[in-house]
Amino acid sequence: MLAELLAGSLQDAHQRREVISTAAVERAALKREPTLDVAAIFAPRERVHIIAEVKRASPSRGELAAIQDPADLAAAYERGGASAVSVLTEQRRFRGSLDDLDAVRARVRVPVLRKEFIGEEYQLLEARAHGADLALLIAAALDQKTFERLAEFTRQLGMTPLLEAHSKDEVLRCLDAGEGFVGVNARDLTTFTLHPERFGELQSLIPRGTIRVAESAVATPADVRNYRDSGADAVLIGEALVTKHDPTATLESFLNA
């Protein structure tokens, strides 16, 4: 499944590259205002940080929310106190787009994460050209050499990689990939089963000073508190926010957990 998602994302990127060359997207990336100081924004440790996600659908959960106006949703997240906004740009199964990323970037002042199945530099150039401050890199989807090369390229573009792991072995691979946030995704992207305990089991491998992100499986404020109590600096939340009538109030309730 993960290989299929990556192959689809790459195919879509290759199609865009026919229209916008690598040189052109690189020019656009270099013309962009510099990235925000993500490390400074996530530095305060007195409270948990929330990365709030704009996600219409997912292969595991199907349709979640129509989200006519992703910028409005992102603004609601920002009002609720989100430290960053994650935007799914994968179009086939998550029904996102780079237009969503543009719309969100234009509206909010907080850092923005491009959530995509990234396997080539072109996609990172796009992320920067469309204003992303952070880009997701999934250890399970990439061989170590590619993973490290893309992490380095992300940093060269001024962005922060969110290095995603599901297992001890993958956490160690993330640490080898150098500076970045390290996320433990409770959702196993090969079977789609949820393992909320995974973050707590793996977080001690991640050195202090590295932002530890607990990803997925938050439904209630108690879930945020559990992640926080087991050492999360930040929690990445999608479904529980996009399916609520009042995302600002929901986000506040998570922040106050």
**Which residue ranges make up the site for ligand IGP (CB under 6 A)?**
53, 55, 115, 164, 185, 215-218, 236-240
Q: Which SS3 state, helix, strand or coil, does residue 76 take?
A: helix
- The verdict on whether 55 is a catalytic residue reads yes
- Please state the closest distance from residue 27 (CB atom) to ligand IGP, in A: 28
Q: Which residue lies nearer to ligand IGP by CB, 20 or 253?
A: 253
Residue 127: what are its φ and ψ, rounded to 5°?
-55, -50
- The verdict on whether 215 is a catalytic residue reads yes
Cα first-last separation, the chain: 34
The active-site residue out of 53, 116, 126, 239 is 53
* Residue 253 CB-density burial (10 A; 0-12 exposed, 13-18 middle, 19+ buried): middle
Q: Which residue lies nearer to ligand IGP by CB, 46 or 193?
A: 193
The active-site residue out of 90, 215, 226, 239 is 215
Q: Which residue lies nearer to ligand IGP by CB, 142 or 237?
A: 237
The active-site residue out of 9, 97, 185, 226 is 185
- The verdict on whether 216 is a catalytic residue reads yes
Report the C-alpha gap between 49 and 82 in whole angstroms: 7
Report the C-alpha gap between 200 and 214 in whole angstroms: 9
The active-site residue out of 90, 120, 164, 239 is 164
- Please state the closest distance from residue 205 (CB atom) to ligand IGP, in A: 19
**Helical axes 221-229 vs 247-255, angle rounded to 10°:** 30
Q: Which residues are catalytic?
A: 53, 55, 115, 164, 185, 215-216
